[in-house]
Each structure stands twice: as structure tokens, then as C-alpha cells.
Structure 1
Amino acid sequence: MAALIPLTTAQPAADWRAALRDLVTSPEALCALLELSPDALGWSAAAMQQFPLRVPRGFVARMRAGDPRDPLLLQVLAGAQEMQQVAGFTADPNGETGRANPHPGIIHKYRGRVLLIVTGSCAIHCRYCFRRHFPYADNQNGRNDWPEALAYIAADDSISEVILSGGDPLMASDQQLTELVQQVAGIPHVQRLRVHTRLPVVIPERVTDDLLRALTPPRLQSTLVVHTNHAHEIDTGVAAAFRKVRGADITLLNQTVLLAGINDSVDAQVALSERLFAAGALPYYLHLLDRVSGAAHFDVPADQARSLHREMAARLPGYLLPRLVQEIAGAPSKVAVDG
């Protein structure tokens, strides 16, 4: 059994909006905080121009100073590898444009559920992000756009679940989310609300009482799906945020992306599952990398992923073993990567 890494404590921001105003956006600033040389890390100005550096200081505080291979640092490091053109890696790996994007701000790929893009903004730019090339400019979905997007959902009574996504939907204010969720709850055939977010992990102060009230309208069952890739991401502040979510009677699940050089070992995955459960989140999916342009250096081959998953199964109880899946454009659901 892998020993759990002790929880660290980052200095909390006074307010989540203050943390957003004070993001690290330059490699020089990030490296100064980590006592590292930008030249030694191989930063790429071209990669940063294509997809800018953006990371909260509280997340940086969980990185190991002086370690150029820190698993959290590698998730935000804009390197020259991103500029390589690799066969099979595309701008839209999951088929989210075209027919799957029938209305601005709506992605509708799977029967029974629809994804509503709340904002294109994120608090952190993860270099493997499958929507790093998504046409957010064509999918604006502000307050003035909600009526048409909600009318699309209301017109299809097969839709029982609405998924708030982005970007990160929790970049919207508590008031905006309250108004939007109330309108979603007013559609009779919608039974469930799901929110996909990284904010409770990278800025745990985002989990406010007003947010939890916004996400728990009386009529809908609510699920929060957070995105955590490594046990080091979960410090005492994140664990406290997770407990608040659970205390609001919201189902809390986690999705992880399998990333080469970051979490592609059985020890890393076992530690993550155990840390997640200790903090109140259930490991849900372990994703193969979405094959998005600029992220090929993170790819873990399917055979290696299957072998890793089998090792995890031998060391974890079933309820702590996430499903190993991949997304295939045009498939009617996530596809299990069977071992």
C-alpha cells in the first residue's frame, strides 16, 4: 500500500476573486516562486502565445520548490513539445464542434444529457486541456444568451440532465449561477444538475455558502465533478472545500487524466484515490488523454494504461478504483478501456 503524502497547508486567499486577480501569468514569476531557472525548464514563448500561462498562487504553493519535474508544475509548463505536429492529435479530438454543437453554448453528444457552456474562462490553463482550441468566441453564453440555450433544452424532453461546463462554470459569480440554475430547474423534464470544475481544487475558497445554495435547487439532484490528477493537489484547504460540498448533500466525484511523467505509476494513482476518498470525493473516471494538438507528450499508450489499471485493481478496493475510459468522437458514451 502506498503511503499517503502528508497534507500540506497553503496560505489561503482572502477571497476567491482576489485569488483570480493575482494569478501567475509569466514564467519568470512562476520560476521565481519555485526557485527555478526559466531557461532550464525549456519554456516556449510560442506555446505560451498559443495558450497562455495561467495558474493560481495557491496551486503554485503546493509545488515543490527547486524541482523541475514536480507533477503539478508539469501540468502548467508551456514547453516546446507543444508546438510539434503529431499525427492523430487534432484541434477537436472529441468531436465537439459541428453537429455536436447545435446551438451556441450547447454541446449535445449523448442521449439524455446536454452540456451548457457557462464561460470560456478558467482559473488555470492545463497544458493537456482538450478544449484549448475550442471556438469559445462562437459559443458565447451570457445572461442575454440563456433564453435561447434553455429553450433548446426545454424543447427536448429526452434531456434529463444538464451539465454546466466551460472553461470552468464556477468562474461565474454566485448570483449568475443562482439565476441560471433556477431557470434550468424550471424545465420539468430536467432531473439532474451536474457541474464539471477544477476551481475547488485550484482555488478552494471558491466553495462559498452562496455557491452551494446556488447548486442545490430543491427539485434537482446535484453532482459536482472535480478534476484532480495528483495527490499533491489536495491540501487541507481543498479537503475542507470537499467536505463543504458533501455537507450540502451534493454528490462529489473526481475525474483524472492519465498523464505521462505526472501520474502514470501505480503508486501515484493509488495515493490519489486514497487521498480523494479521505477528503470526501469518490474516484470516478481515469481518462486516457484526449488527443488534442499540443498535448502529445502527455500521452500514455492504451496497453500501458490497461496494465496500470490492473495493478491499481490489485491494490485498491473496488469503490476506490476509477473506471478507465476514453472519449471517442461520435461514440454514444464514454468508452471503457477494458483490460
Structure 2
Amino acid sequence: MTLTTLSTPSARKRKVTYVRDISKLTEIPAHERKALERVAQKYVFRANDYYLGLIDWNDPNDPIRQLVIPRVEELEDWGKLDASNEAAVTVEKGVQHKYRDTALLLCNEVCGAYCRYCFRKRLFMDGNDEVSIDVSRGIEYIRQHPEINNVLLTGGDPLLMATRRLREILARLREIPHVKIIRIGTKMPAFNPWRVLDDPELLDAISTYSLPDRRIYLMAHFDHPRELTPDAVRGIRALQKAGAIVVNQCPLVRGINDKPRVLREMFEKLSFIGAPQYYVFQGRPTAGNAPYEVPIVEGYFIIEEAKRNLSGLAKRARFVMSHESGKIEIVGVDDRHIYMRYHRAKNPADEGRFMVFQRDDDAFWLDQLVPVRGLGAVPARAA
């Protein structure tokens, strides 16, 4: 397979223009821009001309607009900046080790645009230094822990790094025999598919280090079917041809994908292009995210309705919350109870544990739920 077959013709190359100043968005009335500038001073705004071009500016409720344009409701005093207490599982600067076999390398602190509901928005705020540009200590930590067979490159968005730097990280991880899977968490195919289509060196790096028995998984992030433009789909196809296994994951977000028909369309389209939905996340109670939250019970029924009448390949996604104590799947709701199970657990003793809680239609996080006696006790960490 040649690089030419993986890339796009040079005549189609383009460079996106990044926008960081709300005042430049003349599609928004001046008085509204002024109010939004206050929000952007606290929670940074960043987008690009490609993605902004997907917005229907005549629709104030346009889902793409909701995804990247600030809202004054973000200033409500609500939530925490580190809602899942990632600090507690940070073992080196830029390294998280929560589950025995999986490590996270936070290797970049910038994204192609900033999702307004981001659970790591603290990384983009002044004074934050959680990300390590030099990943040497992180890679050495992984080398010294043979139980780690999965490494997730995250941030920020790893595909916004220079390809040379990404390739170096991939090469160093591939030198560690016990690292079998490398995951790259990215929204660049949605925010800027040209990052993939116009960089044969990126595709060559994927091709070189995604081996038959030690694969690279591309954890894509599409929130809405309108992000699956022809160019975005071409970008996914190029990554697949380079040898990456592509799956999609996203949170359930108010005003963006909280309608069954929207999720159904996205699940189906993703299955058609061979990038099926992997997780749908319950929104973390992160500071600034109040306008984007969907209660657990409502979210469960939205997702279940979305899956109706879809093929098995299109409805494999699990509805989970990334809680401090682990990744918890919401498996059922009836008139009285909410049923959950630990899909991954920080404490290995909790792995697979089933929990039952009293139904609360207003609750959006585990800590708000009341366990059914003897069946739903939350681990000691969260008590």
C-alpha cells in the first residue's frame, strides 16, 4: 500500500483558519457577542472556519453551534473542574493509571476546537500544567509496569501535535513488548478532516505502528450526524486503510444529540462506514456544563429508543459514566429502580459488581443516587 493511496490529491489540500476571538463571529449579533466574551474569558473559545461552516446561523439551536459557541449559562456556579478526580490516579505528570491494564498519556493540551461541555476544560485554563510535553517519564512508567497492555494517547487532541512528535511517541511505545494496544483519542476527523487527508506522513505513522497483532485504535469523537461530512468520512476511510481500527465515542449532550432520531442516524451512519459507536457517556458534572447535562434516566431512555430497529452492529454502544470509582454501565431502568454494573473498576474487587438504586429522574451522577439496601452500596472511595 502506497502513501498516495492513503492520502488525498494535493489539489484538494487546504489549511483551516483557527478562530479564538468571539468578536470575529459576525454571524452573531453584536450584543450577544459581548455577553459571550465574558464566558470565553473563563472557559476558552476555539474553533476553525471548516467547523464553523457547518453551522446554520439562522437557527439559534443549531447543534453544531451548541457544541462550540459559548452560552451564558456556563457561568452558573455548578460542578467541579475535575469531576472524576483524575488527580487521584495521576502517577506522573501527564500520566493516569486508573485501571490495572490501561494507562493514559496526556500528551497535548490543545484541540482542533473546544467542546463547550469538555470534562477536561481545566487543561485549557491559565496556570494548568497537567500535560507533559516531554512524555519520557510517562513512557518509562509504562515500561516499568508490565501489567499495562493498553495505552491511550489523549489530552487535548494528540492529532494536533506535529506528526513527527506523534510518530516518536508511537515508536517508543512500540519498543515496549507488553504494550499491545495503542489508542488515540481524537476529534480531528470531525473538527478538521484535512489534518488526516493532507498528511501522508501521519497515515504512514499509523501504517507503520498498527501491527497485525498490536493494533492502533482510533477513538473518534463524532457527536452529531452532521459532523459526518463527506470529507470527514474520507478521513475515517484513510485512517482505516492505514491500518487503524476506528470506533466512535461521545457524551450525551443537551441540545446536541439528546434526541433518539439524532443518535439513531449517527449510530447507523457510523456502522455503515465501519466505525461503530463504542460508548455513549453520561455527562460528567464539570464546572460550566450545567446547560449541557441530561439526567441519567432520561439519557437511558433516549439511548434505548435510539437503538430500536437498528442492526446489531449499529447498537453495540454501552451507556456509561466515567465515575471516580470506575466506568459504570447503566443497564436498566424500571418504575422503581436504576440498575448499574461496573464495566471497569478502580478497585479490582468491584469489577463486574451489580448495583441497584432508587429511581431518581433528576439525578445526573452516581453520587446523587440512593442505593437499595444491600444492593447498591457505593465503594468506600466515594462515601
> Shorter chain as normaliser: what TM range?
0.7 to 0.9
C-alpha spacing 1:41/1:13, structure 2 compared with 1 (3 Å): farther
**Structure 1, residues 127-152: CA drift from partner, whole Å, max 9, x if none?**
1000001488433422xx33221110
What residue number does 1:74 align with? 66
C-alpha spacing 1:125/1:258, structure 2 compared with 1 (3 Å): same
Q: Give distance in 2, aligned partners of 1:56 and 1:317.
A: 35
The aligned runs of 1:4-43 (5 Å cut-off) are 14-15=13-14, 18-19=15-16, 22-30=17-25, 32=26, 35-40=27-32, 43=35
What residue number does 1:92 align with? 82
Q: Give distance in 2, aligned partners of 1:121 and 1:103.
A: 20
Deviates more, 1:72-81 or 1:39-48: 39-48
Counterpart of 2:304 in 1: which secondary structure? Answer: helix
The aligned runs of 1:1-339 (5 Å cut-off) are 14-15=13-14, 18-19=15-16, 22-30=17-25, 32=26, 35-40=27-32, 43-86=35-78, 89-97=79-87, 99-134=88-123, 137-142=128-133, 145-207=134-196, 208-216=199-207, 217=209, 218=211, 220-321=214-315, 322-331=317-326, 334-339=327-332
C-alpha spacing 1:146/1:309, structure 2 compared with 1 (3 Å): closer
Q: Give distance in 2, aligned partners of 1:200 and 1:14.
A: 15
* 1:42 positional shift: 7.9
Stretches of structure 1 lacking an aligned partner (at least 5 in a row): 1-11
Runs of 4+ in 1 over 6 A off after TM superposition: none
Counterpart residue type for residue 324 of structure 2:
A
Give identity over the alignment, percent: 27
Higher relative CO (Cα under 8 Å, sequence separation at least 6) belongs to 1
**Structure 1, residues 293-332: CA drift from partner, whole Å, max 9, x if none?**
000111111111111122123231222122111111122x
**Structure 1, residues 149-193: CA drift from partner, whole Å, max 9, x if none?**
111000000000111001001111111111111001001111111
Q: Give distance in 2, aligned partners of 1:291 and 1:137.
A: 19
The total of aligned residue pairs comes to 314
C-alpha spacing 1:42/1:73, structure 2 compared with 1 (3 Å): farther
* 1:284 positional shift: 1.0
C-alpha spacing 1:43/1:126, structure 2 compared with 1 (3 Å): farther
* 1:282 positional shift: 0.9
Counterpart of 1:261 in 2: which secondary structure? Answer: coil
Who wins on radius of gyration, i.e. which is larger?
A: 2
Contact 1:128 1:294 (8 Å CA) reproduced: yes
**Structure 1, residues 184-238: CA drift from partner, whole Å, max 9, x if none?**
1001111111000011111001113211222341463110011111011111110
Stretches of structure 2 lacking an aligned partner (at least 5 in a row): 1-10, 333-383
Q: Give distance in 2, aligned partners of 1:159 and 1:119.
A: 21
Q: Give distance in 2, aligned partners of 1:182 and 1:224.
A: 16
TM-score of the aligned structures, taking structure 1 as reference length = 0.87
Counterpart of 2:168 in 1: which secondary structure? Answer: helix
Contact 1:199 1:206 (8 Å CA) reproduced: yes
C-alpha spacing 1:198/1:227, structure 2 compared with 1 (3 Å): same
Counterpart of 2:59 in 1: which secondary structure? Answer: coil
* 1:13 positional shift: 7.8
Counterpart of 2:23 in 1: which secondary structure? Answer: helix
* 1:65 positional shift: 3.1
**Structure 1, residues 27-46: CA drift from partner, whole Å, max 9, x if none?**
2333x2xx442435784322
CA RMSD of aligned residues (A): 1.9
C-alpha spacing 1:240/1:78, structure 2 compared with 1 (3 Å): same
Counterpart residue type for residue 84 of structure 2:
N
C-alpha spacing 1:234/1:156, structure 2 compared with 1 (3 Å): same
Contact 2:247 2:277 (8 Å CA) reproduced: yes
C-alpha spacing 1:233/1:38, structure 2 compared with 1 (3 Å): farther
Deviates more, 1:109-118 or 1:268-277: 268-277
C-alpha spacing 1:181/1:164, structure 2 compared with 1 (3 Å): same
Contact 2:19 2:47 (8 Å CA) reproduced: yes
What residue number does 2:360 align with? none
Contact 2:283 2:293 (8 Å CA) reproduced: yes
Q: Give distance in 2, aligned partners of 1:171 and 1:310.
A: 34
**Structure 1, residues 70-101: CA drift from partner, whole Å, max 9, x if none?**
10001112121111112xx211112211x311
More strand, by proportion = 2
Q: Give distance in 2, aligned partners of 1:284 and 1:247.
A: 20
Counterpart of 2:153 in 1: which secondary structure? Answer: strand
